[in-house]
Amino acid sequence: MKIEQIYTGCLAQGAYYITSNGEAAIIDPLRETAQYIDRIHKDGVRLKYIFETHFHADFVSGHIDLSKKTNAPIVYGPTAKTDFESIIAHDGQIFSVGKITIEAIHTPGHTLESTTYLLKDENGKDYCIFSGDTLFLGDVGRPDLAQNSANMTKEELAGLLYESLKNKIMPLSDDVIVYPAHGAGSACGKNMMKETVDTLGNQKKVNYALNQKNKEAFIAAVTEGLQTPPAYFSLNVAMNKKGYKSFDTVLHKGTEGLHPDEFELLADASGAIILDARSPHVFYKGFIPQSVNIGLEGDFAPWVGAMIKDVQQPILLVVEEGNQAEAVTRLSRVGFDNILGYLKGGFASWAASGKETDQVKRISASQFAEEYKTGNRNIIDIRRQTEFNTDHIVDAKNLPLENINEWITNINPEEHFYIHCAGGYRSMIASSILEARGYRNFSEIEGGYKAIANTDLPKATASETAQQN
């Protein structure tokens, strides 16, 4: 028996590849299937099942493409309904893979169809669980993502989750290994550990959700402080239920190179967003007017989903030459399939053609400190509220990037302001959006709060700010 966790950091997502005696199973695969096909061929095994723990909201799974390429059936838990052929397992149903077995344990709460898969080894001993979004390390799945489709409140779903954990998961042996679908950084939970594998016994000790005194306390704890889910989540769920374009088709179209004249004409004719995926450290020096910068090296796909929202939106890419396939792949993971092509030769080809370019005014933290001391203190800190509350510059306003569409219209374009995040990634996203909408009278601070913190400017916590006010 072999179990491999295939972890994708930018999505904080874990897929699982399992083999035993010439047969294989894959749990919660990502959109691009080549990595799984390669493993199957290398190991000389037959893919027997594709297991899905639930209808994922934060990414588009590769279950449909993988099934078409291998003829392996797709397995969902009880109550799931799909528009494609699948096995809907009943609670307790056993699936054999070589000399091991995998039991479907219905664990509703995160979603109604959520299912944990219990793997028993060659000796029939409980070995591990693939817990999906039911149980994370240090947390549990948020119960507010399926409330509309389930016609239930988040409190009612949290109550179901409590019963699932108490009656189905907690009775398992402490030495059972927990393999979750996500780790720290995923928007599917709020308090996940950085580790991606643990024992159930340790989770019983350290997981706050598993240590609530009763059901009421559990419901209160897991529903407290939930951020509004990204708008693209519901669209990803629909794609996972109903189907989607072949990834190969999306990749082929999205990596079609367009010369500057072709790119410009298509941008004008299609209403496409120009998505510039270069580093913020490069983007600010020169870019195509109206383009939005979301750097490929950061949490690219989740931020695209948070900022662009509509997965049907046409997109034209600007990347460093050679990064186009990576950008298209990561966009497709969160359902953005309408990619019309990329600028061949990158921004350098656009600039060489003599077409119009734009820039963001970026200043150093030390220059900002000097200007701050002269009394210019109109500062927008776009970090999340929890980051801002920990520590921030005195006089700064907290306007998180996620809410830019709500606060952008309240900005006076005649008044100069400064903008920063933690390190410069998010503030360049915001800067590109501001410039695309006609706001020019601002300075973005290089290095963000990490650089500002090394200056002698006065700092405060949220409680100190409240006391001063």
pLDDT digit string, tens, across residues 53-62: 999 999 999 9
Tell me how far CA of residue 37 lies from CA of 3, 9, 69, 140, in angstroms: 16, 21, 8, 31
End-to-end CA gap in the chain: 62
Nearest Cα neighbor of 181 from 330, 19, 11 is 11
Predicted confidence at residue 242, as pLDDT, reads 96
Exposure pattern of 424-445 as b/e (b: 16+ CB <10 Å)? bbbbbbbbbbbbbeebeebbbb
In this structure, whether the domain defined by 245-352 belongs to CATH 3.40.250.10 is answered with yes
Q: Is the dihedral of CA 205, 209, 210, 211 positive or negative?
A: positive
d(CA 6, CA 199): 18
d(CA 428, CA 360): 8
Q: At what angle do helices 324-333 and 300-308 cross, to 10 degrees?
A: 60
- Considering the segment(s) 2-232 as one domain, its CATH architecture is 4-Layer Sandwich (3.60)
Predicted confidence at residue 193, as pLDDT, reads 95
Predicted confidence at residue 468, as pLDDT, reads 53
Is 296 strand, coil or helix? coil
Residues of the chain with CATH 3.40.250.10: 245-352, 362-468
pLDDT per residue rounded down to tens, the chain (469 residues): 999 999 998 889 999 999 999 999 999 999 999 999 999 999 999 999 999 999 999 999 999 999 999 999 999 999 999 999 999 999 999 999 999 999 999 999 999 999 999 999 999 999 999 999 999 999 999 999 988 888 999 999 999 999 999 999 999 999 999 999 999 988 888 889 999 999 999 999 999 999 999 999 999 999 998 888 888 999 999 999 999 999 999 999 999 999 999 999 999 999 999 999 999 999 999 999 999 999 998 889 999 999 998 999 999 999 999 999 999 999 999 999 999 999 999 999 999 999 999 999 999 999 999 999 998 889 999 999 989 999 999 999 999 999 999 999 999 999 999 999 999 999 999 999 999 999 999 999 999 999 999 999 999 886 666 555 4
Q: Is the dihedral of CA 80, 81, 86, 91 positive or negative?
A: positive
- CATH class for domain 362-468? alpha beta
Task: For the chain, give the number of residues.
Answer: 469
pLDDT in tens, 87-104: 999 999 999 999 999 999
Predicted confidence at residue 298, as pLDDT, reads 85
Tell me if 219 sits within 8 A of 159, measured CB to CB: yes
d(CA 147, CA 153): 5
Tell me if 342 sits within 8 A of 258, measured CB to CB: yes
HSE-up of residue 399 (Cα within 13 Å, Cβ side): 20
- Going by C-beta distance under 8 Å and a sequence separation of 6 or more, which residues neighbour residue 469? none
Residues of the chain with CATH 3.60.15.10: 2-232
Block residue for tokens 């390190």: 423
